[in-house]
Amino acid sequence: MQANTEQFDIVIVGGGLVGCSMAGALKAQAAGQNLKIAIIESSVKPELSASHHSSKSSFDGKAIALSYGSVQQLDNWALWQAVKPFTQAINKIEVSEQHTAGFSFIHAPKNVTALGYVIEAQNIGAQLLTKLNQLDLTWFQPAQVTTLTQQQNHIELTLDSGKRLCSQLVLACDGANGKMRQLLKLQPKADDYGQWAITSNVEVDCAHQNIAYERFTQNGPLAMLPMKHNRFGLVWCTTQAKAEQLKQLNDDEFIAQLQQAVGYKVGKVIKVGQRQTYPLKRSYLEQNVHHRLVFLGNASHTVHPIAGQGFNLGIRDVACAANLIAQKLTQKQDVGLNWHCYLAERQKDIQFILQTTDTLVNVFSNNQTLLKAARNIGLLAFELSPIAKSAFASRAMGQINLNDR
């Protein structure tokens, strides 16, 4: 190790939502341990005000659904109270299929306040950054990791500025196209769904009553997530050609097509915000733990948005990693070694979500007559089955007992 190398206990690569959550979780669960933590972020430092759009791509205006389980974790890390004022509760979800009679309502159980909450990425990002600014963290921003060397007792990182860092543990939270995957020459398993998502925030002319809508259309699912001020966060999955065509429409033309697809249960759409499009794939690393380096969030896995599990899956990565690090510190162990238990626990959850969302996509993006009839009957039967609905609600809320599978 060279003399001008700065030493840390843990380096987090990626200062987006997962990376910020990871830093907050570590500071909360390892309080009093005097951990020296660095965050490396490639973008220019964003505005901290939730009222301003950030230059960080992970802090844009898209709607994020926080499961009840994710809210509990954020609360455990003393982050929820800062985030909560910017959220809107989901008390009920209506699931339906366009041009059919099949539908079902999923309600929040009586013993909880909500199925989940919706927040704009820029708002949760700003609040996490404001909270982290109160903590003892070292930021390298904007900065890119250019080289990575795994030694027996540490990892050495070189930044594009020439700065050298050394750490017992590196947590890669730099997303699906992150540099850490590239440096280790890791190629994830990937499946292209042949679908694109178009996202936006839309305003309607009536109160949404905290209802989220999941509607299955001919080309893919369409989700409307309740937000503050009679708005919905829209995630519309369709073909690439359709997504590009929808993005190019003027607002009135887009609203007309959206209204036709979603119907009028949501109310009359009166305003639409900026539209974004992106391809839908599922990808995952077959092994998300390497010597002294752990991949979390989208750096480890990406899933179809059909069940709103992407960020929530990342939060469960963070929770598991933070718990293990806290245990190692209590037991005076090297935080960078023996992560096999994390690998076993997380891969089980990740594979379950990957398979579940993949099945939903394949079942509800198929226009075969018999399959459509089966879906229609299935939704009606689901509405009449309180046991099935209760189990589904628990999973949607992130209350999953991995040992019961």
41 closest CA partner among 166, 185, 172, 182: 172
Sequential pLDDT tens for the chain (405 residues)? 566 899 999 999 999 999 999 999 999 998 768 899 999 999 886 544 334 334 344 455 789 999 888 999 999 999 999 999 999 999 988 887 765 545 565 666 677 788 889 999 999 999 999 999 999 999 999 999 999 999 999 999 999 999 999 999 999 999 999 999 999 999 999 988 889 999 999 999 999 999 999 888 778 889 999 999 889 999 999 999 999 999 999 999 999 999 999 988 899 999 999 999 999 888 999 999 999 999 999 999 998 887 678 899 999 999 999 999 999 999 999 999 999 999 999 999 999 888 888 877 776 654 544 444 444 444 444 344 444 445 444 555 555 443 333
Element (H, E) at 155: strand 155-159
Query: E-strand spans in 176-305?
Result: 189-204, 211-217, 220-227, 231-238, 269-272, 276-284, 289-290, 293-295, 301-302
C-alpha atoms less than 13 angstroms from C-alpha of 265 in its C-beta half-sphere: 18
- Please say whether the beta carbons of 233 and 267 come within 8 A: no
User: Model-level pTM?
Assistant: 0.86
How many Å apart are CA 405 and CA 395, to the nearest integer?
Answer: 12
Q: Tokens 């440096």 label which residue?
A: 183
How many Å apart are CA 16 and CA 86, to the nearest integer?
Answer: 18
DSSP track, 22-66: HHHHHHHHTTTS---EEEE-SSPPPP--TTS--SSGGGSS-EEEE
13 closest CA partner among 136, 172, 162, 139: 172
Sequence-distant (≥ 6) Cβ neighbours of residue 368 within 8 angstroms: none
Q: Could you confirm whether domain 6-68+121-189+283-358 is CATH 2.60.40.10?
A: no
- Please say whether the beta carbons of 188 and 285 come within 8 A: yes
Taking the domains of the chain in order of start, what are their residue ranges? 6-68+121-189+283-358
N residues, the chain: 405
230 closest CA partner among 213, 212, 209: 209
